[in-house]
Amino acid sequence: MIPMSNEPSPLCHDEILEPYASKFKAVGHPVRLKILCLITRQDVPCVGDLWRCLGQPQPVVSQHLAILKKTGIVSSEVNKTKRVYSIIDPFIKSLVASIVGEIANATAKESEEDKATPLSPV
């Protein structure tokens, strides 16, 4: 066990943690987290695809995307007539991939458990 001292660890200094706190704040909103999950799962996610999947108005999705762009988490490029988004922050990309993987594993496990549970007669 590492003895505790009154001095914070160099890893816990505000200037080191602040960028991570900003990233967590940006992705902590449920709609933005859903957007990131959709970007991860889709081949070419554009705004139209995102707002249709989310059931949110296009301006709402655009505002959330603007926050993600401002914090350097996503970028966009024009592909023919569509603006396509991708996650460019490696830390967030890894985090979202982990979340998507966990959800897929939990869903697969629930599906297997449902198959194993015999149906009761009505």
In this prediction, residue 11 carries a pLDDT of 73
Residues of the chain scoring pLDDT < 50: none
Distance between CA atoms of 77 and 86, rounded to whole angstroms? 9
> What fold does the segment set 26-112 form as a domain?
Arc Repressor Mutant, subunit A (1.10.10)
Distance between CA atoms of 49 and 27, rounded to whole angstroms? 19
Distance between CA atoms of 29 and 117, rounded to whole angstroms? 36
In this prediction, residue 91 carries a pLDDT of 95
In the structure encoding, which two tokens stand for residue 119, read together? 């149906």
In this prediction, residue 13 carries a pLDDT of 85
Domains of the chain, residue spans:
26-112
In this prediction, residue 6 carries a pLDDT of 66
Closest CA to 85 of 46, 55, 42: 46
In this prediction, residue 61 carries a pLDDT of 92
In this prediction, residue 39 carries a pLDDT of 92
In this prediction, residue 79 carries a pLDDT of 82
DSSP E strands: which ranges in 65-105? 74-79, 82-87
In the structure encoding, which two tokens stand for residue 38, read together? 């959709």
pLDDT in tens, 48-77: 888 888 999 989 999 999 999 999 999 998
pLDDT above 90 covers a percentage of the chain that reads: 48
